[in-house]
Amino acid sequence: MTETKIKTKPILFSGVQPSGAITIGNYIGAIRNFVLLKDSYRCLFSIVDLHALTVRREPALLRRRTVELAALYIACGLDPEENLIYCQSHVPEHAELTWILSCYTYMGELSRMTQFKAKSETNSDNINAGLFTYPVLMAADILLYQTQIVPVGADQKQHLEITRDIAQRFNALYGEVFVVPEVYMHKETAKIMSLSDPSRKMSKSDPEESYISLLDSPDDIRRKLKRAVTDSDTNIAFDPENKPGVSNLITIYSALSGDSVEKTVEHFNGKGYGDLKKEVTEVVIESLKPIQDRYNELIKDKQYINGVLKNNAERAGSIAQRTLKKVYKKVGLYQL
């Protein structure tokens, strides 16, 4: 593949905080699909460690989880030669562009962010300025790379909207400096719900028993799925509204086995919830084994992971620097 062809691909940017376990929901809904995008997009997968600082973190744990996330990305099939997997803090242009963009972002816009309001309630003892300006850093992450496509969940969609607003405002003043990004939506993505509360999406920030991590041991997976919420009925049917727990288990089985939901329901016809949980457990353990085996190899080779992060940060930085120089010139900063 030539460098010319790579440059003509539209750019896709995704950022994930190294703040907790990556769940099977993250894998099924996002990471697994990213592997399929390499032929269509030039992909940047940023480990957004600066974003993670809006909540107090134990420093050693944050460093460890950063390395773990990089290893997991690769273990899931994202080739670091074809995709840019790097740490946000290793590319200083992210922070530099954030300051410029903050001067083109209005307080009223930021105060309307629903995620700021929600996190302020859960972190009432630490409502910091970084939490308030989080969307500006996210805008810088995206706009630095002239990103066309951003895959986001419902909780981040509002942040992409303000990114678009900032880009359009800046462009209206200085010309076509930034590409205005679009939301990327998978054609069909299984939505994996919490094991303990299937009315809510599975989240790494919830209690550990409510999610399955990509690094959970077989025993942990068996325990969690055995305790997964179903309902008082015994009929196995896909009905997310009336049978959310059972439907969630069907979705997990379908997504990892490759069978359709209809075929999955047919497979479990006449069987009980015990059979459903047992077979879901087996398919989860079987699906995660090659990822865990590869991860265990990678995590032992810190020199390799460090090399990947260093090399990819340099590659990302060369792209980011072009955008930042253009921005500095447009706003009137004297350049040497």
Task: Write the pLDDT tens digit of every residue in 36-94.
Answer: 887 889 999 999 999 999 888 899 999 999 999 999 999 999 999 999 999 999 999 99
Write down how long the chain is: 336
pLDDT value of position 121: 65
* pLDDT above 80 for 187: no
- Structure confidence at residue 118 as a pLDDT band (50, 70, 90): low
- Structure confidence at residue 154 as a pLDDT band (50, 70, 90): low
| More confidently predicted of 335 and 221 | 221
Q: Look at residues 213, 220, 223, 204 and name the one whose alpha carbon lies nearest to residue 292.
A: 213
The answer to whether 159 and 138 have CB atoms below 8 angstroms apart is yes
Q: Look at residues 104, 139, 137 and name the one whose alpha carbon lies nearest to residue 331.
A: 104
Pairing of strands 149-151, 84-87: unpaired
Write out the catalytic residue numbers: 119, 201, 204
pLDDT value of position 122: 65
All domains in the chain, ordered by first residue: 3-184+301-331 (3.40.50.620), 208-296 (1.10.240.10)
Q: What is the mean pLDDT of residues 140-163?
A: 87
* pLDDT above 50 for 175: yes
Tokens 């990114």 -> residue: 163
Q: Write the CA distances from 197 to 21, 31, 127, 214, integer angstroms.
A: 18, 23, 28, 20
Please state, rounded to an integer, the average pLDDT across all residues of the chain: 90
Q: What is the mean pLDDT of residues 6-25?
A: 86
Q: What is the mean pLDDT of residues 13-27?
A: 90
pLDDT value of position 55: 85
Residue 10 DSSP label: P
- Structure confidence at residue 108 as a pLDDT band (50, 70, 90): confident
Task: Tell me the whole-structure pTM to 2 decimals.
Answer: 0.88
Q: How far apart are CA 254 and CA 283, in angstroms?
A: 10
pLDDT value of position 2: 40
The answer to whether 142 and 48 have CB atoms below 8 angstroms apart is no
- Structure confidence at residue 183 as a pLDDT band (50, 70, 90): confident
Please tell me the least confidently modeled range out of 24-33, 109-118, 256-265, 280-289.
109-118
Percent of the chain with pLDDT over 90: 70
- Structure confidence at residue 4 as a pLDDT band (50, 70, 90): very low
